[in-house]
Chains A and B, each alone.
Chain A
Amino acid sequence: MQIVVDLNRCQGYAQCVFLAPRVFELHGEEALRYAPAPPDDQAERVRRAAAACPVQAILVGDRAGAESGKGAAADDR
């Protein structure tokens, strides 16, 4: 599972922080931080957070380009 939050759209309502606190957190009053690749056991919570977002800023999906046959190889330097 991969997520991205459109932070232009995000207004800091923090519904996601309540629903999936291990994935989303506020830094200060309204700067959202999140884990872009949440663990599988968080998938249901993340989906609920995405559905509950008042400004619909959370996109959930499979990792783009997975079919390219190339993994993200930052660790394979």
Chain B
Amino acid sequence: MTGELTQGRIVIVGASLAGLRAAETLRAEGFGGELTLVGDEPHPPYDRPPLSKQVLLGRVAAADAGLPARRPVDAHWKLGVRASGVDPVTKEVLLADGGRLPYDRLLIATGTRARPWPNPEEARLDGVLTVRTMEDAAGLAERLDAGPRRVLVIGAGFTGSEIASACRERGLAVTVAERGPAPLVGALGGTLGAFAARLQRAHGVHLRCGVTVTSLLGSGGRLTGAEFSDGTRIEADVAVVALGAVRNTEWLADSGLAAGPRGLACDAGCRAFTMYGIVTDDVFVAGDVARFPHPLFEYQMLSLEHWGNAVEQAEVAAHNMVSPGPRRRPHLAVPAFWSSQFGLNIKSVGVPTFSDQVTIAQGSVEEGRLVVVYGYRGRVTAAVSVNRAKWLEHYRRLIETAAPFPPAPGAADRPEAPRVVPSDVPDPKVLSHGPTVALTGHLPDRRLAVVRPAG
């Protein structure tokens, strides 16, 4: 049995972080068959987090943001070729160039792309950009080098906020427009959203919340400015559209798999579901495109746009692709991510949006060093640190053991009178930026699904 699983043909669609780590894990676990990686970008796998940070500061060339190999993968690389479909009956991946790749087992790791500006004509204006790929970041860095008079960032999620931070570090004037009440609020809730708003303003960002950009203005094909929903206008030479990510699932529309705008659904072992909710045993999913149930969060289906999740889920998926049933593992890692902006290190464990209350357990907003702990129905579900990274491991254990919320006092730097307040995670509909963790299941008390009784 195991002998069969370590032979045959495996195709991985998606040649970024998850695809690469899966390929390496397959080989490390003894897969000796034929391995093919398909990627629509013309580059070997590269690392995206530096693209919105070091690269925009001009300290690192975008082309240098590669990934180190853990081991040789001995694979066929089909780069610069888009996969256009899957035929689950003949077990073939269809390629946009007309080719067909037969597989015995398939891993889907197609990730996400930047959500484009909704008006295509305005999106084509010279100076309107998104940041997702190596070319995007190189292009924006070049624009910033040219010293624009003002940069407009549309959407104040992590990417938008990091871009604004890089602009300010370069001394450039920047306006951030966010439809929600504060930056980062979609991922971190009200307490840290308010903190982020003060932080941005203290660093000279012209932050505008509660407004939308209704149109991008141009002259002679070049961006000249933008108009807001309250009728005001600003002038800008560069507009960065940071409206969150779109999952790359359209190519699976005719595959019969449970793929849609929220991702491709899979079980805890990374096996994809069909559209009928039946689990497959030859199609696996990992990384940003996956939507999977997590026992720590009431088996809610999660879609995580996290570097760490891409690595860990790829390792589990690859292990399960070459292991017989009883030896398969569930993907149970506690979600974690980081962001650095405006000189601060923000780190998160758990799922902050899976919360009803928060408390500042250590430090304070005034100090600029703090740990915010999130609870849902009386247990700890997440913690976010600002310049307090060494403490997160402690809170990770509390999350893993479903410890009671609010957490017991103990830290030397705890506030004298800790307050528990609502977590104020807004409905994603009101935000410009998408949340980087999407709770995609149905919690009736969150009104993610509205049931209307007949009559």
Contact = CB atoms under 8 A, between A and B. Distances in A.
A3 B79 CA distance: 22
Interface string A32-43: 111111000000
Main secondary structure of the interface of A (DSSP, over half): loop
Interface in A1-46: 1-4, 6-8, 10-12, 27-37
Contacts of B67: 2, 4, 63-65
Most B CB within 10 A of own CB, among A11, A59, A71: A11
Contact of B77 (A35, A60, A63, A68): A68
Interface string B239-281: 0000000000000000000000000000000000000000000
Given A31-B344, A31-B345, A77-B135, A63 B69 contact: yes
Contacts, number: 139
Contacts of B137: 74
A75 B134 CA distance: 10
Given A36-B60, A77-B135, A64 B345 contact: no
Contacts of A77: 135, 138-139
A66 B44 contact: yes
A34 B50 CA distance: 9
B308 A6 contact: yes
A63 B135 contact: no
Given A64-B45, A70-B43, A33 B66 contact: no
Contact of A59 (B44, B68, B336): B68
B150 interface: no
Interface in B57-99: 59-70, 72-73, 77, 79-80
B54 interface: yes
B187 interface: no
Interface of A: 1-4, 6-8, 10-12, 27-37, 59-75, 77
A-B residue pairs, 7 tightest by C-beta: A65-B44, A61-B68, A68-B77, A28-B343, A31-B340, A37-B64, A31-B345
